[in-house]
């Protein structure tokens, strides 16, 4: 349900086809964590959280781990659907414990995967949603409101259904930034092939671009 890595072993060089996304994540996550004094000097608050959205397999989790590596941050990953338990209040309790753990670290990136499972709109056709899901989502919102944007915790959330998220999550001071992860183009797919074959004993004259052309619309 929860995965904790004190420092992931993934770097930006391991993330193929996400040049634009890497630049954005460095700006909104890496810079505030490594140089908070810059924001203090300017008198502005950096983003507390970032929403990463796009099809499955486009690098959202991998890039989040790479940012944690770059910032020497603990990486805590939790899958949204697994936060919602059959016992009343269990999901909210786990969210509180999750953030307590994050606060105990020197620096921490909290990554909610499949956040639409708990952060979906609370009302559908005027009918209230599941109470336990709502309690869990409300606790996440409370935790987002409860820590300093200039502190050592950043929250990243991932979904392939951004249109279904509750607007409460996307208000200023919560998930302040959005980063889109689209399907890789030809150049990006070529780069991905090169990354995945770096440690393989392959022929030197592999035509990576040809391989990339053979798998359009792939991640």
DSSP string, the chain: -EEEESS-S--GGG-TT-HHHHHHHIIIIIHHHH-HHHHHHHT-PPPSEEEEESSTTSSHHHHHHHHHHHTT-EEEEEEHHHH--SSTTHHHHHHHHHHHHHHTSSSEEEEEESTHHHHB-SEETTEE--HHHHHHHHHHHHHHHTS-TTSSEEEEEEES-GGGB-GGGGSTTSEEEEEE-----HHHHHHHHHHHTTTS---TT--HHHHHHTSTT--
* Of residues 153, 45, 47, the one with CA closest to residue 109: 153
Q: What is the pLDDT of residues 72-106, one digit of tens each?
A: 999 999 998 888 766 677 889 999 999 999 999 99
Hey, what are 134's tokens? 């709502």
Contacts 24+ apart (CB under 8 A), 192-196: 192/16, 192/17, 194/16, 195/13, 195/14, 195/16, 196/16
Q: What is the pLDDT of residues 168-219, one digit of tens each?
A: 898 888 998 999 999 999 998 988 988 888 878 777 778 888 888 998 888 8
Q: What is the pLDDT of residues 114-163, one digit of tens each?
A: 999 887 755 444 444 468 888 889 999 999 998 888 889 999 999 999 99
Chain-wide mean pLDDT for the chain? 89
pLDDT value, residue 206: 84
* Of residues 155, 43, 31, the one with CA closest to residue 99: 155
Q: Is the C-alpha dihedral spanning 57, 10, 156, 187 positive or negative?
A: negative
Global pTM reads: 0.89
What does CATH list as the number for 3-182?
3.40.50.300
The domain locations on the chain are: 3-182, 183-218
pLDDT value, residue 86: 60
């Amino acid at each position: 349900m929860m995965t904790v890595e004190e420092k992931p072993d993934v770097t930006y060089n391991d993330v193929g086809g996400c040049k634009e996304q890497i630049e954005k994540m460095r700006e909104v996550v890496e810079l505030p964590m490594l140089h908070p004094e810059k924001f203090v000097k300017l008198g502005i608050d950096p983003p507390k959280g970032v929403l990463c959205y796009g099809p499955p397999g486009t690098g959202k989790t991998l890039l989040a781990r790479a940012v944690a590596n770059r910032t020497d941050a603990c990486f805590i990953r939790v899958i949204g659907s697994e936060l919602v338990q059959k016992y009343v209040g269990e999901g909210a309790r786990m969210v509180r414990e999750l953030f307590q753990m994050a606060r105990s670290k020197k620096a921490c990136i909290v990554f909610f995967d499949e956040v639409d499972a708990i952060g979906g709109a609370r009302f559908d056709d005027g009918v209230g949603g599941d109470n336990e899901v709502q309690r869990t989502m409300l606790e996440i919102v409370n935790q987002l409101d409860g820590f300093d944007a200039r502190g050592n915790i950043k929250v990243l959330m991932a979904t392939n259904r951004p249109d279904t998220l509750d607007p409460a999550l996307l208000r200023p001071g919560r998930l302040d930034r959005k980063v889109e992860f689209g399907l890789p183009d030809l150049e990006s797919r070529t780069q991905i092939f090169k990354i995945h074959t770096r440690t393989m004993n392959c022929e030197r004259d592999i035509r990576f671009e040809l391989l990339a052309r053979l798998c359009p619309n792939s991640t």
